[in-house]
Amino acid sequence: MDDTQPRAALVTAATGAIGSAVAIELAHRGWSLFCQYSGAEAEAGEVEQALRRAAQKQQRRIDTAWAKVDLSQSAGREQLVEQALDEFERIDLLVNADAGSAGVAEDLLELTEDAFADVMASGVTATLFLTQLVASEMVRLVEAGEMEAGKIVTVNSISAYTTSVDQAAHCINRAAVAMMTKLFADRLGEYGINVYEVRGGILSAGPADPAHARYDSPHYS
């Protein structure tokens, strides 16, 4: 897309570490942003200020809007997309910044159906059907000649192909998200809509992270 054209991005989990970093970088580049979050309003306010600072630093003018919705619920996903379109009339970029939480560490032999369902609902189910909604709107805009192309980026992790027997649901979720990316790439290619997946490695949250000691031990050196 021509950089002179208005560009609007929908970023999920925008108050999280990854989502906020993505949103700030996009603001730095002059993108208008519709941000989804599910935490405290104060956190959204802090990120909003960071977005403004990033844009001002580059002498950019951007528009921003926020929505607090639960992406594990179909009504929340529909509301989010409707509000983003009402605000900007287009979605040029979708960033799935959080494809589900890992859930509570639990041995594979003790994993319960409820725990598994919770991880899958917040992960692949939410990500799949939000992406479906946005992709359908991108196709509509492309066919109407109102948008040259769209982009979809999903932040995944190396758990898509590496194993953690105490995070089985998380690994299965991440593997499903990886396949989801391939499927959307195949389906949307004819419209020039590019679909990407970014797999992050192990991110240390410091000594307070339950996994910190394990990965910092000589066994993992």
Whether 1 maps to a domain, the answer reads no
Whether 81 maps to a domain, the answer reads yes
Strand 8-11 relative to strand 32-37: parallel, antiparallel, unpaired? Answer: parallel
| Nearest C-alpha neighbor of 52 from the set 94, 84, 24, 15 | 24
Whether 23 maps to a domain, the answer reads yes
One-letter amino acid at 120 equals M
Neighbours of 76 (CB within 10 A): 18
pLDDT of amino acid 202? 72
Reported as half-sphere exposure (CB side, CA atoms, 13 A), residue 144 has a value of: 10
Size of the chain in residues: 221
- Beta-strand (E) ranges in 90-183? 93-96, 151-157
**Could you read off the pLDDT of 108-130 as tens digits, one per residue?**
999 999 999 999 999 999 999 99
pLDDT of amino acid 42? 96
Contact 47, 15 (CB under 8 A): yes
Whether 2 maps to a domain, the answer reads no
DSSP at 167: B
Strand 64-68 relative to strand 194-200: parallel, antiparallel, unpaired? Answer: unpaired
Whether 40 maps to a domain, the answer reads yes
Whether 157 maps to a domain, the answer reads yes
Q: pTM for this one?
A: 0.89
Whether 101 maps to a domain, the answer reads yes
- Its domain, for residue 47, covers 8-220
pLDDT of amino acid 2? 42
CATH at 75 = 3.40.50.720
Sign of CA dihedral 71, 82, 93, 191: positive
Split into its structural domains, the chain has a count of 1
**Could you read off the pLDDT of 39-62 as tens digits, one per residue?**
899 999 999 999 999 999 999 999
Block mean pLDDT (10 aa), the chain, length 221: 69 95 96 95 96 94 96 96 96 89 82 94 95 98 93 95 92 96 97 96 65 62 49
Whether 80 maps to a domain, the answer reads yes
